[in-house]
Amino acid sequence: MLAEKCPNCGAFLPVRQAGVTVRTCEFCGLEVPGAVVEVERLTTPRMAAKPPVAGRPRDGRGLAIAVPVVPTIAVVVLLAARGGPSGSAPPAATTVEAEAPLPSAGASAESPAEKPPARALREVIERAGGADAVDLGALAAYAETQVRALAPDALPILFNCTFVRADGRADLTLTGDARCAWEYRAPSRVKRPDGIPTGVRASVPCVLSFTAGASSMHGDVIERSYDLDDCRRWHALRPPRCTPSEIWERARAQGAPTDAVARLHLGARYRSPYDPVDPTDEADRPERGTWRLEIERDTGEDFRFETPDDCGQAPPSAVERAVMTAVERLKPALLACARRAAGKHDVIEAFEQTWRLQRDGARARVAFADPGVDIEGMFQGDLDEIRARWAACADAVAPRITLPASLPEVRLVLRVETGGRLTLAPPPFD
């Protein structure tokens, strides 16, 4: 089979499988419908093929280096407690059941070829409001039940849905690739198989996906295989505090058109193959997620909105406010670092920094740092050098942060825009 490349970043796309018309690029998050350009046959395992370091986007938000701007599309959505995930994992060697066509709202006639899993999914969708206005909470609960029937320890990692209306319901009838997907990781499966010694590459079916959509109505859980390290790239998600309608409400306040449908994504941190590894990280310890809502426009710029999953969150404590105040005082210095690092590269929109800080006397010490660059457009130059300049400058500023005695260690995630805005992941800090 010929390998296919992502038209955005050039990474190899997941292998085609029966009935699946849209594939998501593992590297930049772009969703690729239909046919794409075929390239030469792969001669290495698929997960070993990585894009060049110089072109690394950051968490799917920055675009590839020296290519035209292509809007990135969110990956997957989780809505477990009130609302459910699916991501961009390579397909495992599993058998996919024949898919049944998606019925229109209110349809009840069964296809003669319809298999039990597809029939059960169709009935769940009908009870949840119909294919043109499905309740994502009800569909998410069903997806989780199906996944955990195969892997009781499965943890949600991603949720993605293509067409979500302002009332929080999804329309699975708008296009042939309309769908919602939930993705989980089974920690018990992330282990080297018996009989395969260290030194031999091992892939395990650690990711389980459930998808419902116009061309994805088979009703089965799909098991996807990753290398052991790749299994842990997405951090597990806490149960969502926000519902899709609440995210839409926030987006409307920022100018989102109410008569549109949006792509909705929920996910926690992602560590790419190029990110440094924090030895204290626990990928299976659930973290608060971040929502992304995107609306494509025929003219003008697409609408994009991002917000933490913090609906109903208690106000910051006195200790958390003290940390926020300490970071705010450093805003002029961090903005200067960002502008100096960006230089004349106008396509650099922002820099990011993940810090794990430890209390060292009255000041903070950088125990771990992971810098990132957010690019929008075409970039030419040495991105690694720019990232290094930013990291060196920002890390020199960090010790000015004073950590309260009751908070000996804290993980902070900063975004510093070259236009003058600084945002800090709100409390509770991990």
For residue 23, the model assigns a pLDDT of: 67
For residue 377, the model assigns a pLDDT of: 84
| Unique residue bearing structure tokens 């260690």 | 409
Supply φ then ψ for residue 394, to 5 degrees. Answer: -65, -40
pLDDT by residue for the chain (430 residues), tens only, comes to 344 656 555 555 665 554 555 667 765 566 666 543 333 322 223 233 333 333 333 443 333 333 333 333 333 333 333 333 333 333 333 333 333 444 444 444 444 578 999 999 999 999 999 999 999 999 999 999 999 999 999 999 999 999 999 999 999 999 999 999 999 999 999 999 999 999 999 999 999 999 999 988 899 999 999 999 999 999 999 999 999 999 999 999 999 999 999 999 999 999 888 889 999 999 999 999 999 999 999 888 899 999 999 999 999 999 999 999 999 999 999 999 999 999 999 999 999 999 999 999 878 999 999 999 999 888 888 999 999 999 999 999 999 999 989 999 999 999 999 999 999 988 888 7
Which positions ≥6 away from 414 have C-beta within 8 Å?
327, 334, 352, 353, 354, 355, 394, 422, 423, 424, 425
Structure tokens, 34: 């239909």
Rounded Cα distance between 298 and 305, Å, is 18
Supply φ then ψ for residue 221, to 5 degrees. Answer: -85, 130
User: Are 374 and 58 in contact, with CB atoms under 8 Å apart?
Assistant: yes
Beta strand segments in 274-394, E: 290-295, 303-308, 348-360, 363-375
**Torsion, Cα of 134, 255, 175, 223 (10° steps):** -60
Which H or E run includes 226?
strand 222-227
Q: What is the DSSP string of 258-309?
A: TTS-EEEEEE--B--TTSPP-TT--TTS-B--EEEEEE--SSSPPEEEEEES
List the one residue out of 208, 206, 213 whose CA is nearest residue 232: 206
For residue 109, the model assigns a pLDDT of: 45
Please state, as a whole number, how many other Cβ atoms lie within 10 Å of the Cβ of residue 6.
25
* Residues present in the chain in total: 430
For residue 48, the model assigns a pLDDT of: 33
Going 324 to 325 to 328 to 329, the CA torsion angle's sign is negative
For residue 31, the model assigns a pLDDT of: 65
**DSSP 8-class letter at 4:** B
Q: Write the CA distances from 95 to 113, 180, 223, 354, integer angstroms.
A: 17, 20, 9, 40
User: Are 16 and 23 in contact, with CB atoms under 8 Å apart?
Assistant: yes
Rounded Cα distance between 131 and 194, Å, is 44
Rounded Cα distance between 80 and 296, Å, is 27
For residue 33, the model assigns a pLDDT of: 61
For residue 210, the model assigns a pLDDT of: 97
Burial 80-106 (b: 16+ CB within 10 A, else e): bebbbbbbbbbbbeeeebebbebbeee
Architecture of domain 318-424: 2-Layer Sandwich (3.30)
Q: Write the CA distances from 175 to 124, 132, 154, 171, 263, integer angstroms.
A: 20, 11, 31, 9, 13
Rounded Cα distance between 88 and 86, Å, is 7
Rounded Cα distance between 212 and 262, Å, is 17
Q: Ramachandran region of residue 60, left (φ > 0), alpha (ψ -120 to 50) or beta? A: left
Query: Where along the chain do its domains lie?
Result: 116-308, 318-424
